[in-house]
Structure 1
């Protein structure tokens, strides 16, 4: 009888953690499926891409933005109230950049293309709760010890209503999946723990997208105190709490309102520059509609959508600062060697055109919604480790104010 009791006790010890593990697994699965159901809206049609993404053509009024409590009664604006695009100081245009999914179809009118979120995307994030967010602040700082390094140009403090620039498209190598490399702009207002940002640009982010493709992104965040591949992607981000509470990439949370049926945030771009070869760039514009308070994002000639200023309250009037440039993040600091993750083309700025990455035709938008070219003397460079990544600024009649930037990461001078 004693032996039977011991046996039962042992069985109980063995079975109990298995049941708990299964309950935990089931609970996580329910949370993942709930999040997927919330993010992935019903699509009229879906388009499979060559790189494995699925683009859902979602009715424009059903997009995730309208899950935001402040947007539930919002009337979609299809264009800004100001007259479109005053002639820029730099109007030359080369081969147009397109996205990989365009090869297999287009979204119909009154829909928006949204990259479908897969279970694997969520599992790659640090946690279910952190999906779509930046795991650490990426607001430019001089301290590289936090795992971020920059080669950027900063505007002077002022009142800014947008920016316009051309950014060179490259596909930098990223050493490990949880690192990323990007080229972007930040529009910033507020200080310290009350800082808000809206951001847009290009990124290679294997940890978010599951590949090494170049992708377009947006981002926003509000401070209170992202893909699994190596493809280059267009992205957007916003934050209302210094990356600690509110904000996300693309349409990964309610906030950014998309109006374009042609461009999908987070989807891979199908062209990028090659060393000593053909160069690709595109025009990116963020501009505030001062009548409606909407911050509009424009990719080439496409109006992609907007951030309502009430979701980023410190940007309700204007931005106080604009930043342009490159950033990498890595988590191997303290392990004895620098990361091999590249910034830009993976080559230093002094290599110049066709070899180093660039931003050109830098402009900020003033109170009259007029684009102004800042002189290099009125910009401040921030380069956290010039032996790893660097920057060179200049100006010309053709390119306006421009800068080359980037680097290879680890090299004999950056061990």
Structure 2
């Protein structure tokens, strides 16, 4: 129930300050050894879902497709999703690590959501065999009944058709730690515009011995996705993405914010960021990605920029306000 080893870190981080993740439920006690915290599902949570079979699952269009990667002007917004991401295409990849900036974006209507995440991907974007592992934070009032940012995970092995779910709402992810509640609210210490910035680390990697995909949040090994639930990801990933996503039934016209709600050009303390973006190679070492491709479907609504520095390694700024005078 533990990974055989952790990836070796190739990036120098002596000047980087990381904040441990704190969750609201920590104020009320802790779970005993050999148990795990599970967010309670209430009747009203299920009643808000469109159907029992779709409860806890993502809508299709939750990932940029081949068209939007090859041609950023091709929108996914017809299906309600906007993405601003950095993408790395690789022959074989075994995980990724990021330091993720935490915000509480404004949601304009309860059915909207805003999230920041990583995607580990195998298979075809256009077929039914897409495999993904996903982790990050999201604000999703319709699903959680509040506007708090929450730690979340997701997976699918058939392009979101019948497999996979959020958090622990179906069989798949195996939690092994009693300190982190997946789907739990993150304590009200958020980044503020022009003020203090809060980040936390997420690492997902394929254990070279056991073959399972492990999740680490901060310094805590939370659990794993068994390789047996995947087809392509049973071996390795072929691409990785990092960035933001907004969903709305009227996607192009929503005022739901992505990240801080400000464009990347505003920079540190104002725009949302991810830093120390690294990939896990076949030798189980963390290395910076090469040749990042930036994908944005409506650049006047939300956008993304990338860069490299000594302190931050590979990083991106991303996000935006959604509906504005220049956003169609």
So what's the TM-score if we normalise by structure 2? 0.93
Give, in whole Å, the separation in 2 of the partners of 1:245 and 1:83: 32
Q: Is the 8 A contact 1:172 1:344 kept in 2?
A: yes
2:159 aligned residue:
242
Distance 1:414 1:132 in 2: 31
- 2:115 counterpart of 1:182: yes
After superposition, residues 49-88 of structure 1 pair within 5 angstroms as 77=1, 79-83=2-6, 85-86=8-9, 88=11
Where do residues 147-186 of structure 1 align in structure 2 (5 Å cutoff)? Answer: 147-186=80-119
The offset of 1:158, in angstroms, is 1.7
Cα distance in 2 for residues equivalent to 1:206 and 1:83:
35
Structure with more contact order per residue of length (Cα contacts < 8 Å, sep ≥ 6): 2
User: Is residue 126 of structure 1 aligned with residue 41 of structure 2?
Assistant: no
Aligned to 1:391: 304
Q: Answer yes or no: is the 8 Å Cα contact 1:126–1:135 preserved in 2.
A: no
Check if 1:213 corresponds to 2:144. no
Which residue is equivalent to 1:197? 132
* Bigger Rg, which one: 1
Aligned pairs (5 A) from 1:349-360: 349-360=264-275
Aligned to 1:332: 250
Moved more, 88-97 or 167-176: 88-97
Task: Tell me if the contact between 2:9 and 2:287 (Cα under 8 Å) persists in the aligned partners.
Answer: no
Aligned match of 1:272: 190
Q: Which residue in 1 is equivalent to 2:72?
A: none
Report if aligned partners of 2:103, 2:190 keep a CA contact under 8 Å in 1.
yes
1:84–1:394 Cα change, 3 Å: closer
Q: Which has the higher helix share?
A: 1
RMSD: 1.3
Deviations 1:302-359 (A, max 9, x none): 00100001101220110110000000011025xxx71000000000000100100000
Q: Secondary structure at the match of 1:388?
A: coil
* 1:287 is aligned to 2:173: no
Partner of 2:260: 345
Higher deviation after alignment, 132-141 or 97-106: 132-141
